[in-house]
Structure 1
Amino acid sequence: MSQSTTSQSTISLLTTAVYLADEAATVAAGRALGECLTPGVVVYLDGVLGAGKTTFCRGVLSAFGHSGAVKSPTYTLVEPYAFSAANIYHFDLYRLADPEELEYLGIRDYFSSDAISLIEWPVRGEGFLPSADFIAKVLPEGHGRRLELIALSKKGMSVVQTFTDKTG
């Protein structure tokens, strides 16, 4: 794992990275991150098609008690999960033709202080999504994947630091 802090004007960015050898490690990293999340957090998931973003989300959801299948909401755009600790909304905007379609979906209703939002392909919703607290990049590397977390807000910094301390 590597970690760095960079100062850019008034914002300090905290980043960390870890190698994930296989699917089980990807789910475990998602679970560890899920244990660090608090309501109100917005997570952008970045990575190429098939990199493991949805597998990672399965781990996040398992931290809240979900044990069933987790499918990518490619056609429905959003899959809601209700837990006592928080409502989690898993978005996949890959097939979104126009970001304005999010208005018809009632996108603003999903981002509340009691919700956690996991957003795959956020670039396709640009201009209609709230800013991310951090970005989770899942990138192919060797026979496995590399997970990079990049904090973009104070909330994000807290999550990334807690994850780093936990997985250290």
Structure 2
Amino acid sequence: MNLPDLSAMEQFGARIAGHLKAGDVIALSGGLGTGKTTLARAILRALGHEGEVPSPTFTIIESYDHLDPPVVHADFYRLEDPSEVEQLGLDDYRDGAVLIAEWPDHAGGFAVEPGCLQITLEIAGNGRKAIVEGGKDWLERLP
């Protein structure tokens, strides 16, 4: 999917947001500067968040409990080993929430979960390209 500009990224985020349910994982992969946080912000805005959406690069986890469904936005870039996820208490944050995971491979990945939508973002000219793969659950929800 081509995302030529910020408007296209916002529309893509809104499309995803319209199909989210508790327990889902949006796994965002791609190099630095490919738009992972931009897409996460678009999803959060489409769900109704009106405030700032800081990048969780340093805090690792940001929670948005006021949204329906609640969202946990995590950036695992700084993890050196997937076992560190347990120390963060990620399972406690995820209970009843959607997880938007940047750099999911640093946390061991989430592809085995049926509610995982994997999105790899790449720079394509002046815009971005999204490669989207969904678990069985997503294939039924996101045409």
The answer to whether TM tops 0.5 is yes
CA distance in 1, matches of 2:49, 2:11: 14
1:131 corresponding residue in structure 2: 112
* Structure-1-length-normalised TM-score: 0.76
2:76 corresponding residue in structure 1: 93
Instruction: State how 1:11-90 maps to structure 2 within 5 Å.
Output: 18-90=1-73
Over 3 Å counting, the alpha-carbon distance change for 1:84 and 1:60 in structure 2 is closer
SS of residue in 1 equivalent to 2:142: helix
1:5 corresponding residue in structure 2: none
Letter in 1 for 2:34: A
Letter in 2 for 1:126: G
Deviation at 1:84, TM superposition (A): 4.7
Q: Which has the higher strand share?
A: 1
Q: Once superposed, which parts of structure 1, at least 4 consecutive aligned residues long, lie more than 3 Å away?
A: 129-132
1:116 and 2:98 aligned: yes
Aligned residues: 141
Deviation at 1:151, TM superposition (A): 0.9
SS of residue in 2 equivalent to 1:26: helix
Please, which runs of 5 or more residues in structure 2 have no aligned partner? none
CA contact (8 A) 1:42 1:131 kept: no
CA distance in 2, matches of 1:158, 1:39: 16
Over 3 Å counting, the alpha-carbon distance change for 1:143 and 1:118 in structure 2 is same
Deviation at 1:118, TM superposition (A): 0.6
Deviation at 1:91, TM superposition (A): 0.7
Deviation at 1:54, TM superposition (A): 0.6
Identity %: 35
Q: CA RMSD in A?
A: 1.8
1:141 corresponding residue in structure 2: 124
Between Structure 1 and Structure 2, whose CA radius of gyration is higher?
1
